[in-house]
Amino acid sequence: MSDCKEYMLTARFEKGNLSNVEIMDCIIEGLSIDGILLTDLLEHYKRKIE
C-alpha cells in the first residue's frame, strides 16, 4: 500500500451506484455512508459476530 496520508484528497459520491465496489488497503478514517462512520459500522459488526 502506498502512503496515502501525503495527499489530502476529498471525494463525495451522491446518487451513484456502488454495487460490487471493493475497498482494499485504504485509510478509512472519516469515511461515512449516509452519515454513519464506516469505522463505527465495522466495530459494531465485529462485536456482533464475536
Q: What angle do CA 16, 13, 38 make, to 5 degrees?
A: 105
The yes-or-no verdict on residue 11 having pLDDT over 90 is no
Domain span at residue 28 reads 4-12+19-49
Q: Is 37 exposed, middle or buried (0-12, 13-18, 19+ CB in 10 A)?
A: middle
Query: pTM of the entire structure?
Result: 0.64
Q: Per-residue pLDDT tens for 19-49?
A: 999 999 988 889 999 999 999 999 999 999 9
Number of domains in the chain: 1
